[in-house]
Structure 1
Amino acid sequence: MHLVKKIEIIANSFELGKILDGLDKSGVNAHIVIRNVAGKGLSGTREDLDMTMLDNVYVIAFCMPEQIKPVVEKIKPLLNKFGGTCYISDVMEVRSVRCVASM
Structure 2
Amino acid sequence: MKPVKRVEFIIDSLMVETLLESLSEINITSYTVIREAYGSGERGVRGGDIFSGAFDNSYVLIACTEDESKQIIETVRPVLKNLGGMCLVSDAQWVLH
Q: TM-score, normalised by structure 2?
A: 0.88
Q: Which amino acid aligns with 2:33?
A: V
Alignment of 1:58-97 (within 5 A): 58-96=59-97
SS of 1:52's equivalent?
Answer: coil
* Aligned-partner Cα distance in 2 for 1:48–1:28: 29
Note the alpha carbon deviations across 1:34-92, whole angstroms, 9 max, x for none.
11111001221113545313311000111111111210111111111011010010101
Alignment of 1:17-56 (within 5 A): 17-47=17-47, 49=49, 50-56=51-57
Q: Which amino acid aligns with 1:25?
A: E
SS of 1:34's equivalent?
Answer: strand
SS of 2:62's equivalent?
Answer: strand
Q: Which amino acid aligns with 1:29?
A: T
* Aligned-partner Cα distance in 2 for 1:47–1:54: 5
Q: Percent identity?
A: 31
CA contact (8 A) 1:9 1:60 kept: yes
* Aligned-partner Cα distance in 2 for 1:39–1:62: 23
Unaligned runs of 5+ in 2: none
CA contact (8 A) 2:48 2:56 kept: no
Give the number of aligned pairs: 96
Q: TM-score, normalised by structure 1?
A: 0.84
Q: Which amino acid aligns with 1:54?
A: F
Q: Which amino acid aligns with 2:42?
A: L
